[in-house]
Structure 1
Amino acid sequence: MSERRVSAPDIDPANKPKGPASYFPSIEKTYGLPVQHWLDIAADQLGEGRSHMQVVESLKTEHGLGHGHANAVVAYVKAKLAD
């Protein structure tokens, strides 16, 4: 894995996040790993030149994420890398 390109946000339970980050608590609960794990995978694959949908498919088929969760992870990473 490369250096951390995108850091997971600090989520305040009192203020529900909007956008892709709104999925992160559910992702952690469903898959039992911190969202940072998934962000790192997505950032590495995007850094290798894979497209958004290629990374979504990888997260689904190789790692067992649902489509919505995988898409949220990739969308978040892409937005942060574009900043």
Structure 2
Amino acid sequence: MPGPVPQSWPDLIGTELNAAVQIIAQERPDVRIVRVLPPGEAPSPPPTDQVRVVLYNDVGPVPDTWMVVAPAPYIG
């Protein structure tokens, strides 16, 4: 990949979950797993043979929407 390879996405906090997943997939096509968690939940150990992004989400302001919340999505 040309240019710097993102390791985290702080600018995606507050973004609708599906839109955030699409942005990460465009910026990091090597990512194979996106682990979506509710606020405060600890992720399971990362797989050894795949690149994974951890995203935290919560209910959005519009019914049936989910938004990315802090901490920022990260590789891990």
Report which of the two has the higher share of strand: 2
* TM-score scaled by length of structure 2: 0.34
* TM-score scaled by length of structure 1: 0.32
Report which of the two has the higher share of helix: 1
